Amino acid sequence: MSTITVHLTSADGATTHLQCRTGQSLMEAAVAANVAGIEADCGGLLTCGTCHVYVRAPHAATLPPPDADESAMLDFTAAARQPNSRLSCQIRLDESMQGLAVDLPASQH
Ligand code: FES
């Protein structure tokens, strides 16, 4: 286990820089740090779609792609799905994600 830095930018442009342990999900790291804009109503069970993020380059292209269940849930997010949309509960942090940067939608509901 190691530590990486990730960056979450809210719709109003404020960026939170988080030091995160690998092995947890991006959602878990954001919730633990009380990052506004990640609701995660289902606690990571892939049934709420309120942990929606937009992943910036280069990680948008290098993350493991969403599986069928995540992709299906992404069709029900409050903010419009984009090609770089992901559910942060499904992003398991590892060393390859050092510097991961995501934008948060204006609302998760
Ligand atoms: Fe509910 Fe991610 S926390 S789908």
Per-residue pLDDT reduced to its tens digit, 46-83? 999 999 999 999 999 999 999 999 999 999 999 999 99
Nearest to 100 by CA among 29, 13, 50, 1: 29
Enter the DSSP assignment of 25: B
Ligand 1 pocket list (CB less than 6 A)? 27, 40-42, 44, 46-51, 73, 87, 89
- Cα of 47 vs centre of ligand 1, distance in Å, is 6
Distance CA(70)–CA(26), nearest Å, equals 14
Given the CA of residue 44, which atom of ligand 1 is nearest to it?
A: 3
Distance CA(89)–CA(58), nearest Å, equals 19
Once rounded to an integer, what is the mean pLDDT over residues 5-11? 97
Residue 1 predicted with pLDDT over 90: no
Distance CA(39)–CA(34), nearest Å, equals 10
What domains does the chain contain, in order, with CATH numbers? 3-103 (3.10.20.30)
Nearest to 75 by CA among 49, 51, 99: 49
Q: Which of 25, 26, 27, 86 to mutate to test the pocket of ligand 1 (most atoms within 8 A of CB)?
A: 27
Q: Taking the complete model, does pTM exceed 0.95, yes or no?
A: yes
C-alpha to C-alpha distances, 84 to 3, 21, 53, 107, nearest whole angstrom: 24, 23, 8, 17
pLDDT tens-digit map of 26-48: 999 999 999 999 999 999 999 99
